[in-house]
Amino acid sequence: MKNLLDKKHKDLLTLKDYTKEEIENILKLAAEVKKDGKLYKDLLSGKSLAMLFDKHSTRTRLSFEVGISQLGGNSIYLDSKNLQINRGETLGDTAKVFSKYLDGVIIRTYSQKTVEVFAKESTIPVINGLTDLYHPCQILSDLFTIYELGLLKKDLKFTYVGDSNNVLNSLLIGFTMLGLNITVGCPEKCKPLKEVINYIKKQSEISGSNFKIVYDPLEAVADADIVYTDVWVSMGDKESAGKIKELKDFQINLKLLSYAKPDAKIMHCLPAHRGEEITSEAIDGSNSIVWVQAENRLHAQKALLVYLYSI
């Protein structure tokens, strides 16, 4: 195990912070902690980690609270509305105070700048539990789910359909860092941010991965091994009837899935808006691995904590 635990970074702000080898090591650790939930059960003994959340959460909060507890640590849930941040204390000052009391912090917020300031000003590990720009913990879980199925290989055809958001940004980074191919199916008005595309193009040249954007949903999912989607209106977005109209042809339903491989797996990071980006027949069908994907948030995040606190 020592070779999987060689130290490297103290924070996870985006998957760009980690190398291919580091991500692969976390996936291997996730497999080990899922197989034996008592592994590293005293790793966080005597340690307290805060969860500073500005956004609502189900899976992120539950998986981190349970994971920290299973590793022997103590978790403290904090709403920034009830802290002095809400009355004008700077993020930098708050990060310094957190460092005096805590052994780590998971932040779920709007601006990526918030986690960056915390990481700069604190002396404890800072984990991005979600920002409007990135969702690295979700993608570690997604990659682990695919790894567990034995599908994490070069010939995998993985297609994401729908809106371009923080989940897609992190999927693009994770896949291209691992040298995996990824297709994005979306309306032209909903394509990924230019800064993300520019990064992915450079990373693809290094890793040999193939990234493409397709504006025809049927072409996007043709012969896909995995079809993935997320909500069309994310937290912090202003719901737009026009945006939903643009995306309607990219709904994961039985008709769209008929263009993928017969055994194509269906993924969704949840929460799902049934009848909008995905139908109940799809998410509850025999090819859906959504619930395994949700469970794996626990195992992947435990692996991340093991990775960060093992040395």
Active site residues: 108, 135, 138, 230, 269, 297
Q: State both tokens at 290.
A: 């959504």
Nearest Cα to Cα of residue 186 among 167, 173, 203: 167
Cβ-contact 253, 229 below 8 angstroms: no
* Distance from chain centroid for Cα 302: 14
Q: What are phi and psi of 64, to 5 degrees?
A: -70, -40
The amino acid sitting at 271 is P
Q: State both tokens at 85.
A: 């941040």
Nearest Cα to Cα of residue 135 among 204, 228, 222: 228
Distance CA 4, CA 28 (A): 8
- Count of beta carbons in the 10 Å neighbourhood of residue 113: 12
Length of the chain: 311
Q: State both tokens at 18.
A: 């980690």
Cβ-contact 22, 16 below 8 angstroms: no
Q: What are phi and psi of 47, to 5 degrees?
A: -105, 145
* 180 secondary structure, DSSP code: -
Cβ neighbourhood burial of 249 (10 Å; 0-12, 13-18, 19+): middle
Report helix, strand or coil for 198. Answer: helix
Q: 């993608």: which residue's tokens?
A: 139
